[in-house]
């Protein structure tokens, strides 16, 4: 059974200029112990989708189930009983921590809300500090005394406090220095190996996603345009947008970077206030045909568990993307 099941989820924002459909008819599952990565350009709706999954923002349509419990319309008291199963790591490690609280108070707050005793909270906080490789005496200090990477470790410890089954990672390393990102990525992977936790990993950085993802969902203007096992999509992407994303990813080898073919997307991401008719990607797609301008392609199943929202079968003709395969992140 899926740990997280999302069906036909849509989220709208009403602005002074009109209604923005930030998430449009999205469906996917996250299984126990796996990492599903959600990728796409900034503004495509990734973070809104992650917040909608745990009802930090309201959905206008669709269903959400966590560990078999439909939480879509649960009242607050009933929802609180489910919340310990899914937690979130936020993008900004500076804004996500209350500067007036000590680290021990920040990590222990979920436990206090859950009714734990002071002694049990102190013991659990100490164990969590060990788990994220922070000294126990740091529990008496305040967030401003820590670096960005250390603050994100505090956020990870807080997310782990109630032993959730799923953590939503919303761009967890994008605000960190490059030298620190690998440490946090490897920490997340080690925690998953030790606890069996599942991740919904939201990112625009493909070099990060490649280290962590079991399955990949590619998002464009609020919709999923491709999904499947990460390695298969990396090797043979089925959607023109995915192919362009992967071909544009930087590689460390200058010779390889100069020799490989580039698939450059022209134009900008369309405004979600006025999305194009038909396939939303047709304004930038090098393969667009008249049908693409009038008919929106459904997300259809392909052999091997793949899915793609494109009118044309590109897998048969698509050559593997010319890109380097990076090694495991190192500290």
pTM of the model: 0.89
The mean predicted confidence, pLDDT, of the chain is 89
- pLDDT tens readout for residues 234-269: 989 999 999 988 887 666 555 555 555 555 677 777
pLDDT, residue 42, reads 87
Neighbouring CB atoms inside 10 A of 276's CB total 16
pLDDT number for residue 206: 86
140 pLDDT above the threshold of 60: yes
Would you state the pLDDT for residue 219?
A: 96
Q: Which residues pair with 177 in a beta bridge?
A: none
Average pLDDT value for residue range 25-34: 97
**Proportion of the chain above pLDDT 70, given as a percent:** 90
Residue 17 burial by Cβ neighbours in a 10 Å radius (0-12, 13-18, 19+): exposed
Could you give the CA distance from residue 126 to residue 122 in angstroms, rounded to a whole number?
6
Side by side, which strands form the sheet with 307-308?
Answer: 86-89, 166-170, 198-203, 35-39, 215-220, 223-229, 307-308, 300-301
Residue 158 contacts residue 98 (beta carbons within 8 Å) = no
**Once rounded to an integer, what is the mean pLDDT over residues 56-66?**
96
DSSP helix/strand/coil, 63: strand
Across 275-291, average pLDDT? 92
pLDDT confidence tier of residue 323, bands split at 50, 70 and 90 = very low
Q: What does the pLDDT average to over 153-168?
A: 97
Q: Return d(Cα 302, Cα 308) in angstroms, integer.
A: 7
Phi, psi for residue 54 in degrees, rounded to 5: -110, 20
Residue 315 confidence (pLDDT): 76
Contact 191, 93 (CB under 8 A): no
Give the range with max mean pLDDT: 257-261, 273-277, 314-318. 273-277
Query: What average pLDDT does the segment 31-46 reach?
Result: 94
Cβ 206 vs Cβ 218: under 8 Å? no
């Amino acid at each position: 059974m899926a740990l997280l099941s999302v069906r036909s989820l849509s989220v709208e924002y009403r602005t002074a200029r009109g209604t923005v459909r930030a998430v449009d008819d999205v469906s996917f599952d996250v299984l126990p112990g796996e990492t599903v990565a959600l990728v796409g350009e900034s503004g495509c709706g990734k973070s809104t989708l992650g917040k909608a999954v745990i009802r930090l923002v309201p959905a206008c349509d669709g269903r959400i189930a966590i560990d078999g419990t439909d939480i879509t319309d649960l009242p607050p008291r009933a929802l609180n009983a489910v919340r310990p199963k899914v937690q979130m790591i936020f993008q900004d490690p500076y804004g996500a921590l209350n500067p007036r609280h000590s680290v021990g108070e920040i990590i222990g707050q979920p436990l206090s809300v859950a009714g734990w005793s002071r002694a049990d909270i102190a013991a659990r906080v100490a164990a969590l500090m060990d788990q994220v490789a922070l000294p126990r005496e740091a529990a008496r200090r305040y967030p401003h005394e820590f670096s960005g990477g250390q603050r994100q470790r505090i956020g990870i410890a807080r997310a782990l406090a109630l032993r959730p089954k799923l953590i939503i990672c919303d761009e967890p390393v994008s605000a960190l220095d490059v030298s620190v990102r690998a440490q946090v990525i490897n920490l997340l992977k080690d925690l998953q190996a030790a606890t069996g936790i599942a991740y919904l990993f939201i990112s625009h950085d493909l070099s990060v996603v490649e280290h962590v993802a079991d399955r990949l969902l590619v998002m464009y203007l609020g919709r999923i345009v491709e999904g499947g096992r990460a390695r298969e999509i990396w090797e043979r992407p089925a959607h023109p947008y995915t192919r362009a994303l992967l071909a544009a990813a930087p590689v460390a080898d200058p010779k390889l970077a100069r020799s490989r073919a580039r698939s450059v997307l022209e134009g900008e991401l369309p405004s979600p206030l006025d999305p194009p008719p038909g396939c939303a990607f047709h304004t930038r797609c090098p393969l667009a045909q008249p049908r693409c301008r009038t008919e929106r392609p459904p997300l259809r199943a392909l052999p091997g568990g793949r899915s793609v929202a494109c009118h044309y079968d590109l897998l048969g003709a698509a050559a593997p993307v010319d890109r380097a395969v990076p090694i495991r992140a190192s500290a």
